[in-house]
Structure 1
Amino acid sequence: MAKVEERIHDELVDSLQGEKIVTLVTKDAETNEPELSIISWLVAHPGGKTIKFAVGHNADSATNIQENPHIVLGVTGAESCYSIKGKATVSDIIEKTMKLRVITVEVESVKDVIFYGGKITSETTYEKTYDPKLAEKLDSEIYSLLNEA
């Protein structure tokens, strides 16, 4: 059985500084069933006890978290795959170039969940398919918010 840690180790914190595909599992507010989302605006804070990420202001995941704050993040990084469980809070709507919400996760447990003998040798990459200047502006605004203490 994999060892469960109470914080994100430093190498994984370093890899969680944005532009990363991360899965988010919440409990659907209406059906009580698990709901999977993909996020990429994400920052792990030093010490490995807090993660912040941004979603659109009316994202289902924000509604779900307001109803039930327990979440799971699926992360690939530091040559493995991790399940990060935590309790999340949702900000009020923030109006920048787009309306968004910042989700703050207080990390409760981190578990390495790669199969026996497995090692990640390359990670998923993606590209933004909208206006590059808009992408740069959004990233700048959002990462500024996520990096606030």
Structure 2
Amino acid sequence: MSKIKEKLTKELIDFLQGERIISLITVDKETKKPTVSTISWLFAHESGEKIKFALGHKSSSIENIENDPYIVLNVVGPESCYEIKGTGNVSEIMQGTMKFRVVTVEIDSVEDVIFYGGKINAVPGYEKTYDAELANKIDHEIYSELKK
């Protein structure tokens, strides 16, 4: 049986410093049912009590969080799967190369949710399929905000 913690471990803090594939679960504003999206712009605060992530300013997840701020983040790795529950607060629209909003999550609980006897041996990866120079510029702008 896994133990529920109230904040991120040092290992998870180190892991969640951006460029990870994370599932974001929110409650759909219209249907009132859970919905999932995938995010990668994120940054865990060193205290282990907060995570910030960025979304495009028109993301349906933004509307969902503004309507019902309770969210779940599902993290695959390091070595396990983790459910991070918390309450999200959405920023105003930020203007950079693209418009985006930052969600600050106050963490309520962190739980190791891998099945019995399971261990993650490879962390999912991805590649950006658009202009590399543009991707770097956008990443720099967004991470500058997330690290504030």
Report the TM-score when normalising by structure 2: 0.99
2:57 equivalent in structure 1: 57
Task: For 2:86, give the aligned amino acid.
Answer: G
Cα RMSD for the two superposed structures: 0.6
- Give the Å deviation of 1:34: 0.5
Unaligned runs of 5+ in 1: none
Aligned 8 A contact 2:78 2:123 in 1: no
Equivalent residue pairs, number: 148
Q: Secondary structure at the match of 1:106?
A: strand
Tell me the alpha carbon deviations over residues 9-45 of structure 1, each in whole angstroms, 9 at most, x when there is no partner: 0001100000100000000011101110000001101
Give unpaired runs (5+ residues) of structure 2: none
Residue matched to 1:91 = 91
Q: Structure 2: which amino acid aligns with 1:73?
A: L
Aligned to 1:123: 123
1:62-116 alpha-carbon deviations (Å, 9 max, x no partner): 0000000000000012211000000000001101100000000000000000011
What is the TM-score normalised by the length of structure 1? 0.98
Percentage of matched positions with identical amino acids: 57
**Does residue 27 of structure 1 match 2:51?**
no
Give 3-state SS (helix, strand or coil) of 1:11's partner.
helix
Q: Which residue of 1 aligns with 2:108?
A: 108
Give 3-state SS (helix, strand or coil) of 1:73's partner.
Answer: strand
Rounded to whole Å, the distance in 1 between the matches of 2:77 and 2:15 is 6
* Residues 1:80 and 2:80 are matched in the alignment: yes
**Match of 1:117, SS?**
coil
Matched, 1:15 2:15: yes
SS in 1 for 2:145: helix
Amino acid across the alignment from 1:129: T
Q: Is 1:68 matched up with 2:68?
A: yes
1:130, CA displacement in angstroms?
Answer: 0.2
| Deviation, structure 1 residue 47 | 1.4
3-state secondary structure, aligned to 1:138: helix
Equivalent AA in structure 2 for residue 17 of structure 1: Q
AA aligned to 2:81 is C
> Is the 2:7–2:109 Cα contact (8 Å) retained in structure 1?
yes
Report the counterpart of residue 132 of structure 2 in structure 1: 132
Structure 2: distance between partners of 1:10 and 1:123: 18
